[in-house]
Amino acid sequence: MKKSFFRIPLLLVTAVTAVCNAQVIGPRTLNMQQVVQLAQENSISAMSNRNSFAASYWSFRSYKAQLLPSLSLNASLVNFNRSLVQLQDYNTGAISYRANYNMNNDVSLNFRQNIPWTGGTVSLSTQLSRLDQYSPARLTTYYAQPVYLSYAQSLWGFNQFKWDKETEPKQYEIAKRQYIENMEQLSQNTVSLFWSCVSAEENYERAVKSFEEGKRLFEAGKTRFEMGTITRDQLMQIEVRVLNDSLTVSNSRVNLRTTMNRLCSYIGYQEDTELNLIIDYEIPDITLDYNDVLERALQNSSFRLRQEVQYTQADESVARAKANRGLSAQLNTRFGMSGSADRLGDSFVQLKDQEVIGIQLNIPILDWGQGRGRVRMAEAQAQTTRNQLEQSMIDYRQDLYTQVMQFNDQRSQCEIARRAADLADESYELALRNFGSGSMTMSQLDQLKDKRDQAVSSYLSKVASFWSYYFQIRRATLYDYNSGTDISAEFDKLVK
């Protein structure tokens, strides 16, 4: 195949801009890497990936905030109550209704800290209350707790903080790697659209070229018909080819416009933008080793981390079921100082000690095996999860092995397809000259044309598949084998 056939820059939609009513933006000259960069910056998928990572970032920030001290102000203000309340006489047991006419105000300041190692919560608080009694006599009472320390702890219970400490940091690391993987998937999709445009442009150019060749053949055929070297039926076959080529030009023009619109939309350009796509058919000489690819994939991708989290979550579900099946106990303690008086200042004088301690127990005596059943169910589900994870690891290795084989084989396929396209093009050019001399029939010429078109399309498809496999490997390993570096992202900028 002539080099000029594949080396010319592809000025997309030069023949179809008349169908656009919008104002046309100037031509943009882009190569494949620049198109990928535009998609990573401007596409809707890229924005969605950034938003998904931001959500994971703030989820992790919320988890870390649970481990830090918190300060809160609580107030219950202007609680006015004017109603009848039911009272029972202590001596006689008689029930009567008395008027209740008061207003209560309460404010407290609480400093709270979760204890991840035990699952308990410690808090340091201060509280002030005022009660205004309006009937039967006007009376104001203040109740103050200048400081009191509280601690709540589940005994033998399930400690969620312990398990979150195992999973939450890994979940955030998964979100980082998942973001890069999603961007690599975006790159793979962009490359697919890029080569679809290249293929559509090549089809359009071949259709135009074939149409022009057909018109010349028809003129030559009329001359040969007048000379008596071909029959009228053969001349009509040439005319039918010209008409079919005209239809092919029209269809390929529409397909080119549609394909180009799809690419422009994906990279954030207006649909009527002209693109001058610079094509380099040379592919890098890269040979992958499966063991190296597997090692990088397990080290860099989110797959292994995701499996570790799922293993931990399976164990967590079993631990939760076991903790909730039998005796549960809650320890509550409170120590501090308190005072009450008719005046605010006096409520802080002669404070009295305040000590509250208690243990709440819940002992299931007869639950018909529900607790044991929940444990067995959790254990069965955990084992199912482990089996599925083992199978997914086997499938993952096999898929990766297949990807490496496909990639390593694709370069040789590209070279073979290119040689076949060159030969098919040369054979067709030779057939055109032979047809003019009368040594080639129209049927034979059409067969060679079809073979030429198939060979060119096959070559384009092989090159497109090479880059698709390449970005697929990049996504699996988060490693750029062309530059020899790990693929990373500036995560700090994503959450600003």
Does 219 lie in the same domain as 274? yes
Does 169 lie in the same domain as 143? no
Q: What is the dihedral of CA 261, 263, 266, 268, to 10 degrees?
A: -70
Residue entry with tokens 């005319």: 239
The predicted pLDDT at position 193 comes to: 95
The predicted pLDDT at position 436 comes to: 67
Q: Which helix (H) or strand (E) is 277 found in, with range?
A: strand 275-277
Asked, for residue 86, whether it belongs to a domain, the answer is yes
Asked, for residue 451, whether it belongs to a domain, the answer is yes
Does 477 lie in the same domain as 441? yes
Number of independent structural domains in the chain: 2
Asked, for residue 334, whether it belongs to a domain, the answer is yes
| Encoded tokens for 365 | 């005596």
DSSP state of 223: H
Please compute Rg for the chain using Cα positions: 39
The predicted pLDDT at position 98 comes to: 83
Cα distances (angstroms) measured from residue 148 to each of 109, 281, 332, 353, 411: 11, 76, 13, 10, 75
Does 76 lie in the same domain as 54? no
Cα 250 from Cα 210, distance rounded (Å)? 13
Asked, for residue 315, whether it belongs to a domain, the answer is no
The predicted pLDDT at position 26 comes to: 56
Asked, for residue 379, whether it belongs to a domain, the answer is no
Q: How far apart are the first and last CA of the chain?
A: 52
What CATH number is associated with residue 231? Answer: 1.20.1600.10
Asked, for residue 248, whether it belongs to a domain, the answer is yes
Each residue of 31-62: b (16+ CB within 10 Å) or e? ebeebbebbbeebebbeebbeebbebbeebee
| Encoded tokens for 390 | 């083992």
Does 9 lie in the same domain as 76? no
pTM over 0.85: no
Does 290 lie in the same domain as 232? yes
The predicted pLDDT at position 13 comes to: 36
Cα 312 from Cα 314, distance rounded (Å)? 5
Does 464 lie in the same domain as 438? yes
Does 176 lie in the same domain as 246? yes
The predicted pLDDT at position 382 comes to: 96
Does 178 lie in the same domain as 224? yes
The predicted pLDDT at position 3 comes to: 39
Cα 249 from Cα 207, distance rounded (Å)? 5
Asked, for residue 337, whether it belongs to a domain, the answer is yes
Q: What is the dihedral of CA 439, 442, 445, 447, to 10 degrees?
A: -130
Residue 277: give the domain boundaries.
3-60+165-310+384-494
Which one-letter amino acid corresponds to residue 376?
R
Does 184 lie in the same domain as 247? yes
Asked, for residue 233, whether it belongs to a domain, the answer is yes
Q: Are 442 and 234 in contact (CB under 8 A)?
A: yes
Does 464 lie in the same domain as 393? yes
Percent of the chain as helix, strand, coil, to the nearest 5: 60, 20, 20
Q: Are 165 and 116 in contact (CB under 8 A)?
A: yes
pLDDT averaged per 10 residues, the chain (length 496): 36 36 59 94 94 96 94 95 86 86 95 93 96 89 95 91 95 97 96 95 91 86 79 85 91 93 91 86 92 96 96 95 89 94 89 91 87 93 97 97 96 94 91 75 84 92 95 96 93 88
Does 179 lie in the same domain as 135? no
The predicted pLDDT at position 388 comes to: 97
